[in-house]
Amino acid sequence: MRAVSFTPETVPGPDAPLRAALRYGLIGLGVLVVVAVAIASLVAGLPGLWGALLGAAIGGGFILTTVVSVLLGAKLPPSTAGMVMLVSWVGKLLVVLVVVGVLNQFDFYSRPALFFTVVGALLIVLGAETYGVVSHKVPYVTTRAGDGETASEQE
């Protein structure tokens, strides 16, 4: 087996896949906003524009909040990181319910444009984040030591 050496600049950090997921998710959301606004504006006019913008904000914000909360909780102890994930999930669910409840009173936006853009944001941003995590290579190390031997005992 051949030894491979890395310089500190070339070794990605442990949160590199999550940062890539966030980057790809934001790019996917940006593309969705442009496409959804163009299509919804052509189909429904100004209400379509508002529906597409609101749908992208609701759907994209809901999904991207998960990656951000995982990035923020990554360096915390596992129990605290779990609490951060739980609080962020409940918080974003409450925010979406309140926003949708408030928007339900108004009619300045196209409801079909909102619906299709939210669904598109969920699918596209999740797909982009998955691609970012799966395609990112992170080095790992295996030792020749048995379960009872540490790396320092090998040398």
pLDDT tens, residue by residue, 2-32 = 665 555 556 667 778 888 888 999 999 999 9
Assess whether pLDDT exceeds 90 at residue 1: no
Give the pLDDT confidence score for residue 9 in this predicted structure.
59
- Which single residue is written with the structure tokens 């299709």? 116
Residue type for 21, please?
A: A
What's the whole-number mean pLDDT along residues 115-127?
92
Contacts of 29 (CB under 8 A, 6+ apart): 56, 60, 64, 121, 124, 125, 128
Instruction: At 111, list the tokens.
Output: 């409801």
- What's the Cα-to-Cα distance from 133 to each of 8, 10, 67, 85, 147, rounded to whole Å? 21, 18, 11, 18, 29
Are 64 and 26 in contact by the 8 Å Cβ rule? The answer is yes
What contacts 55, CB < 8 A, 6 or more positions away?
36, 113, 114, 115, 116, 117, 118, 120, 121
**What end-to-end distance do the CA atoms of the chain give, in Å?**
17
Digit-coded pLDDT (tens) for 90-112: 999 999 999 999 999 998 999 99
- The structure's pTM equals 0.74
Query: Residue 38's pLDDT is what?
Result: 95
Does 155 score more than 70 pLDDT? no
Q: How far is CA 117 from CA 15, 85, 121, in A?
A: 29, 25, 6
pLDDT digits (tens, 9 = 90+) for 20-71: 888 999 999 999 999 999 999 999 999 999 999 999 999 998 888 888 888 8
Structure confidence at residue 11 (pLDDT): 60
Q: What pLDDT score does 148 carry?
A: 56
